[in-house]
Amino acid sequence: MLVAPSVLSANFMQLGQDIQMVEAAGAQYLHLDLMDGHFVQNLTFGPEFIKQIRPETKMKLDCHLMVSNPDQYLEQLAANGADILSVHFEGNDHIHALLQQINGLGCASSLVLNPGTAVASVTELLPLVKQVLVMTVNPGFGGQQFIASCLGKMEQLAAYRQEHGLDFNIEVDGGVNSETGQRCVAAGADVLVAGSYVFGQADPAAQVARLLALH
């Protein structure tokens, strides 16, 4: 199991410590939500923030772009040390070209599906990607309730991957805790993103360990 604590719920006043704590606990990815107040209502940070985090950790920097015109940021994010670049199917007219651009930059391309998007809409794109991010909340904010109807999409993606000999990871994000995470793993998820379940609790390291133990 791969675990990706989401910085969105971390304490920014002690971010370095929070990052060290989850890395020491065994988290393999650090999930970074870039939000522009336009694609989603919330605002967070940009490529400069990724540059500052890069030397602080060996975890893969798993960047989820909730921004309009993501193509404008990809090159800078790659140069600043991003490992995985997730872009949405929704709102990106030229999503195929965007995924090609990410692959060309040497990063792992990741396709995001909002809760309202069906797997059948994206099958043409799956041979291009290293990861599919299944959103189990509507994007924008941490601490929302898990949308269980998205579990079927993980099963469909896992079946499609096997049938077509593809090798993308299935990542899930939104309302993940030990109970919902277990259901995701059973449905085929490989990577669990968790914000409030990790950083919103007294002992983030113990929370990471609980997710890592799921199988």
Ligand X SMILES: O=C(CO)[C@H](O)[C@H](O)COP(=O)(O)O
Interacting residue ranges for ligand X, rule: CB under 6 A: 6, 8-9, 31, 33, 64, 137, 139-144, 173-176, 193-197
Kindly tell me which of 49 and 141 has the beta carbon lying closer to ligand X: 141
Answer for the pair 207, 194: CB distance below 8 angstroms, yes or no. yes
Which DSSP state fits 146? P
**61, 32 contact by CB (below 8 A):** yes
Smallest gap, in angstroms, from Cβ of residue 105 to ligand X?
Answer: 22
Least distance in angstroms from the C-beta of 199 to ligand X: 8
Select which of 18, 62, 83, 173 is catalytic.
173
* CB 174, min distance to ligand X, A: 5
The nearer residue to ligand X, 31 or 153, going by C-beta atoms, is 31
Q: How many CA atoms are closer than 13 Å to the CA of 60, on its beta-carbon side? A: 16
Residue 120 backbone zone (phi > 0: left; psi -120 to 50: alpha; other: beta): alpha
CB of 164 to ligand X, least distance (A): 27
* Annotation says 83 is catalytic: no
Residue 181 is labelled as binding a ligand:
no
Query: Is residue 106 marked as binding?
Result: no
Residue 189 has φ and ψ, to the nearest 5°, of: -70, 145
Q: What are 103-108's contacts with CB under 8 Å, separation 24+? A: 103/128, 105/74, 105/75, 105/78, 106/78, 107/74, 107/77, 107/78, 107/82, 107/83, 108/83, 108/84
Burial of residue 55 (number of CB atoms within 10 Å: 0-12, 13-18, 19+): exposed
Question: H-helix or E-strand containing 47?
Answer: helix 47-53
Residue type, 209: A
Q: Which is nearer to ligand X, 64 or 130 (CB)?
A: 64
Residue closest to 24 by CA, chosen among 39, 42, 3: 3
Least gap, CB of 180 to ligand X (angstroms): 9
Give whichever of 60 and 64 is closer to ligand X, judged by the CB atom. Answer: 64
Residue 200, annotated ligand binder? no
Please tell me which residue in 33, 62, 83, 190 is annotated as part of the active site. Answer: 33
33 is catalytic: yes
Q: Which is nearer to ligand X, 57 or 166 (CB)?
A: 57
- Report whether 167 belongs to an annotated binding site: no
List the binding residues.
Answer: 6, 31, 33, 64, 140-143, 173-175, 195-196
**Annotated binding-site positions for a divalent metal cation:** 31, 33, 64, 173
Catalytic residues: 33, 173
Binding residues for substrate: 6, 64, 140-143, 173-175, 195-196
